[in-house]
């Protein structure tokens, strides 16, 4: 599944994968928590990390959960190699940049957040009294949850994803219907882009939960793949059909991802992300697709040929009226492919109209 996400979220997921249930590192952290001891673990032993280390002692020994549990009985931080295979140092006093902002109050968690933010390395802290495990990475923080509770949340999120996907499917079906009748408006397109981003955000959160659950997420992975399918590919085709010539679908989707949860509900912002027109506040204005999305449903047509056809006819309405002879005039399109394109467009048109009026 080609879920889109930024580098910050990617760093958090990498960190969560290292401490997921079933991993040696998580086994060691769980031992620390069960022993009601605290821990501050820096999951990188690069020069930047070592430069803020004071005191402690060199361990340079292979990592094991038992060794981590024993070393955590001391107050200082533990430095673990980037690959997780060795414990580099223990009982270290960390001296991060004190000007780095932190929302934490406890000394251990405050130090963990400052180290993670200032050096860009993953840090894990486990509180001694509450047994709370926090992961700091990519400028963010995530508190690890008990597996049963996280599974419950993930299943609820899957149900939400299913409901939002139905709404997205309805918006795409409506867009197809108005496209083949040549009455599409900016509102129809913006609705698909908006709902696609909402579905993406829910799937993105579930993806993070799956990473956090590790070996306990096999069933969730299958369910997410079945629900999410190729939504990103479909949404990219919708955007490509309407985005301005001097912009790309990737730029539009990146702009949508940057919107806040409140902003995403404003259809005008979704319309503006297409950069198709100078004035995006008129959601009722007519727009015409290039036809790439519907051409993509032709089995024997590759992406390059589809783009050549769309460019040649400059719009779906002209493409729908094209004869086989006119289609074969496009470089690389033979009679069989042209017939397949004609048949596909006719089938899509008929199906869309029937769905609209049934």
Domains in the chain (CATH in brackets) are 7-144 (3.40.1700.10), 145-288 (1.20.1260.110), 290-358 (1.10.150.20)
With a cut of 70, which residues of the chain have pLDDT below it? 1-8, 277-281, 355-358
Please give the DSSP secondary-structure letter assigned to residue 286: B
Q: Is the dihedral of CA 277, 283, 285, 289 positive or negative?
A: positive
pLDDT at 275: 87
Angstrom distance (rounded) from CA 23 to CA 11: 18
pLDDT for residue 165: 96
Q: What is the predicted pLDDT for the residue at 5?
A: 42
pLDDT of residue 279: 58
In 3D, which of 50, 128, 135 has the Cα closest to residue 94? 50
pTM attached to this predicted model: 0.83
Looking at residue 357, its pLDDT comes to: 62
Between the CA of residue 74 and those of 71, 152, 177, 327, what are the distances in Å? 6, 36, 67, 75
At 358 the pLDDT is 59
Q: Phi-psi region for residue 315, left (φ > 0), alpha (ψ -120 to 50) or beta?
A: left
Q: pLDDT tens across 259-309, in order?
A: 999 999 999 999 999 987 655 568 888 999 999 999 998 887 888 999 999
């Amino acid at each position: 599944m080609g879920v889109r996400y930024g580098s910050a979220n990617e760093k958090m997921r990498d960190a969560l994968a290292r401490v997921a249930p079933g991993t040696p590192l998580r086994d060691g952290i769980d031992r620390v928590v069960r022993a009601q001891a605290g821990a501050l673990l820096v999951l990188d032993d690069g020069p930047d990390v070592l430069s803020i280390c004071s005191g402690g002692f060199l361990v340079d020994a292979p990592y094991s959960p038992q060794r981590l549990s024993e070393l955590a009985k001391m107050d200082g931080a533990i430095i673990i190699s980037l690959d997780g295979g060795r414990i580099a140092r223990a009982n270290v006093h960390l001296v991060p940049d004190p000007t780095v902002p932190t929302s934490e109050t406890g000394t251990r968690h405050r130090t963990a957040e400052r180290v993670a933010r200032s050096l860009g390395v993953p840090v894990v802290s486990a509180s001694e009294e509450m047994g709370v495990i926090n992961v700091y990475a990519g400028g963010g923080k995530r508190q690890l949850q008990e597996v049963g509770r996280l599974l419950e949340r993930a299943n609820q999120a899957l149900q939400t994803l299913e409901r939002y996907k139905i709404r997205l499917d309805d918006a795409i079906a409506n867009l197809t219907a108005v496209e083949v009748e040549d009455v599409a408006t900016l509102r129809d397109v913006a609705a698909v882009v908006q709902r696609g981003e909402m579905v993406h955000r829910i799937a993105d959160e579930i993806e993070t939960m799956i990473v956090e659950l590790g070996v306990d997420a096999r069933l969730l992975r299958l369910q997410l793949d079945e629900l999410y399918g190729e939504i990103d590919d479909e949404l990219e085709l919708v955007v490509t059909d309407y985005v301005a010539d001097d912009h790309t679908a990737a730029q539009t989707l990146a702009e949508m991802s940057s919107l806040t949860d409140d902003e995403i509900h404003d259809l005008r912002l979704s319309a503006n992300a297409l950069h198709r027109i100078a004035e995006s506040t008129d959601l009722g204005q007519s727009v015409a697709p290039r036809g790439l999305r519907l051409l993509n449903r032709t089995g024997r047509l590759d992406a390059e040929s589809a783009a050549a056809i769309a460019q040649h006819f400059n719009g779906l309405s002209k493409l729908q009226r094209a004869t086989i002879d006119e289609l074969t005039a496009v470089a690389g399109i033979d009679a069989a492919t042209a017939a397949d394109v004609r048949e596909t467009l006719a089938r899509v048109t008929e199906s869309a109209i029937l769905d609209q009026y049934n």
